[in-house]
Amino acid sequence: MGATLEALLALREIELQIAEIRRQLAAKERSVARQTEKLRAAEHTLEAGRADLKHTQVAADAADLDLKARDAHVARLRDTLNTVRTNKEYAAIMSQLNNEKADRTRQETRALELLGEVETKRKAVAEQEALVKEESQRLGNIKAQLEQSLASFSARLSALEQQRDAAASRLDGKVLDLFNRLSDRYEGEVMARVVQVHPRRQEFICDGCNMSLSAERANALLTRDEVQTCGSCGRILFMDKSR
Ligand SMILES: [Zn+2]
């Protein structure tokens, strides 16, 4: 294999390692973003739950006040009952008293229902608070992992970037341009191996796209140090020395 192809393969190897590190970092960044979203949703649910609890609590307090007012009214009616002089007055007060007692019973049921609701909602809010805390801790952990990866990868990345620059400086400007264009297009998979389909037949395919290649082109790779690209996918072709 010629020096140009060897330099290209070295460059590809470095580019693939850089791309792999970037992929891992991007995956961690995505999981930070996902967890941030999850925490935000849990906080929204908590806020809504707190508002609802407050609303129910206000209604329960109002029902309790109403009950107290009715109790006072019943007491006043009872006092009045002791002071009436006629049967007619007595009957009228009794009727009011019975009505008020019936209303009070209904109000008491409602007040108890509201107290039950307050209890249920308070429990739900407490559970949601625990969930928010959990999601927040999880986010903290994922962020710490990302920070750790950034720290441990940064030395590796700058070493690789230096190696890449060194490998690139061994290449002709035109070849490097071609490499960079292909690298953008194929996410680092710039090179394609030439595969001999059958050991005894002069048939070759490009490993990048599986299209056939002429024997002349394959043989040129073995004999000359020049860049050959696949006619179908455009990748830079190379042949293993072992083949
Ligand atoms: Zn190809």
Q: Which pLDDT tens digit goes with each residue over 50-105?
A: 999 999 999 999 999 999 999 999 999 999 999 999 999 999 999 999 999 999 99
List CB-based neighbours of ion ligand 1 within 5 Å: 206, 208-209, 230, 232-233
Average pLDDT over residues 187-207: 89
Gap between the Cα atoms of 14 and 222, Å rounded:
24
Q: What sign results for the dihedral spanned by CA atoms 210, 213, 217, 218?
A: positive
Question: For the residues 19-48, what does the mean pLDDT come to?
Answer: 96
Mean pLDDT value across the chain: 93
158 and 164 Cβ atoms separated by less than 8 Å: no
- Give 192 Cα–ligand 1 centroid separation in angstroms: 7
Taking residues 188-192, report their average pLDDT.
Answer: 89
How far does residue 177's CA lie from ligand 1's centre (Å)? 19
pLDDT tier at 243, thresholds 50, 70, 90: very low
Q: How far is the CA of 172 from the centre of ligand 1 (A)?
A: 22
Structure tokens that stand for 57 in this block: 């609590």
Q: What is the pLDDT of residue 202?
A: 86
- Strand 204-206 and strand 212-213: the pairing is antiparallel
| Phi, psi dihedrals of residue 205, rounded to the nearest 5° | -130, 160
Distance 155 CA to ligand 1 centre (A): 35
CA distance to 20, 35, 141, per residue, from 147 (Å): 17, 15, 10
Lowest-pLDDT choice from 163-167, 221-225, 227-231: 221-225
Distance, in Å, from the CA atom of 193 to the CA atom of 80, rounded to the nearest integer, reads 107
Q: How far is ligand 1, taken at its centre, from the CA of residue 124, in Å?
A: 60
What is the spatial distance between Cα 243 and Cα 230, in angstroms, rounded to a whole number? 18
The pLDDT of residue 221 is: 84
Taking the centre of ligand 1 as the mean of its atom positions, its distance from the CA of residue 112, in whole angstroms, is 77
Ligand 1 center from residue 205 Cα (angstroms): 8
C-alpha 117: how far from chain center? 34
Spacing, Cα 100 to ligand 1 middle (Å)? 92
Alpha helices in 170-223 (DSSP H): 173-186, 215-223
**Domain-wise residue ranges, the chain:** 3-171, 177-238
What whole-number distance in Å separates Cα of residue 86 and Cα of residue 11?
Answer: 113
Percentage, residues of the chain above pLDDT 90: 79
At 232, the amino acid letter reads: S
Q: What angle do CA 238, 187, 146 make, to 5 degrees?
A: 130
Mean pLDDT of 180-195: 90
Supply the pLDDT for residue 54: 98
How many whole angstroms from 199 Cα to the centroid of ligand 1?
Answer: 20
What's the pLDDT score for residue 113? Answer: 97
| Distance from residue 183's CA to the centre of ligand 1 (Å) | 14
Q: What pLDDT score was predicted for residue 217?
A: 84
State the burial class of residue 39 (Cβ atoms within 10 Å of its Cβ: 0-12, 13-18, 19+).
buried
Residue 241 has pLDDT above 70, yes or no: no
Does residue 187 sit in helix, strand or coil? coil
**Residue 242 predicted with pLDDT over 60:** no
pLDDT digits (tens, 9 = 90+) for 109-159: 999 999 999 999 999 999 999 999 999 999 999 999 999 999 999 999 999
Residue 140 identity (one-letter amino acid): G
CA of 229 relative to ligand 1 center, distance in Å: 8
Distance, CA 218 to ligand 1 centroid (Å)? 12
Given CATH 1.10.287.1490, say whether it is the number of domain 3-171: yes
